[in-house]
Amino acid sequence: MSETGEAIRIDIWLWHARQFKTRSLATMGVQKGRLRLTSAGTTRRISKPSALVRAGDTLTLPRNGRIVRLQILALGTRRGPASEAQALYREVEDEQTEASHV
């Protein structure tokens, strides 16, 4: 648990971060069970939209035919413009991908 204790439902965060066009689509995406959440060093598969995420967690999900890892930087308070949504996360490069570029 984070020091501030702030958390938000994963479906709402995905919608705020513009990973899905609507909250309903975010809910359905989570229910398919294809998302993994890494929090405090523990990775688990998420299938309930009520699962909570916090700043510092890492989310692994399918997007545009590939698997991406997003580090959650902030929770957000609304679904704002794209520039605001992009400030909520950063894409994490896979260690294997980084090693193959060296």
pLDDT for 22 beyond 80: yes
Structural domain contains residue 75: yes
| Phi, psi for residue 10 in degrees, rounded to 5 | -65, -35
pLDDT for 97 beyond 60: no
More confident: 8 or 95: 8
User: How many CB atoms are closer than 10 A to CB 21?
Assistant: 9
Question: Residue 44 and residue 37: Cα distance in Å, rounded?
Answer: 5
Cβ 51 vs Cβ 30: under 8 Å: yes
* pLDDT of the residue at 64: 87
46: domain CATH number is 3.10.290.10
DSSP 8-state assignment for residue 14: H
pLDDT for 100 beyond 90: no
pLDDT for 20 beyond 50: yes
Confidence (pTM): 0.84
Structural domain contains residue 2: no
> What is the rounded average pLDDT of the residues 30-35?
95
What confidence tens digit (pLDDT) does each residue in 36-73 have? 999 999 999 999 999 999 999 999 999 889 999 999 99
Structural domain contains residue 97: no
Secondary structure class of 6 (helix, strand, coil): coil
Sign (positive or negative) of CA dihedral 26, 71, 79, 83:
negative
Domain hosting 85: range is 8-91
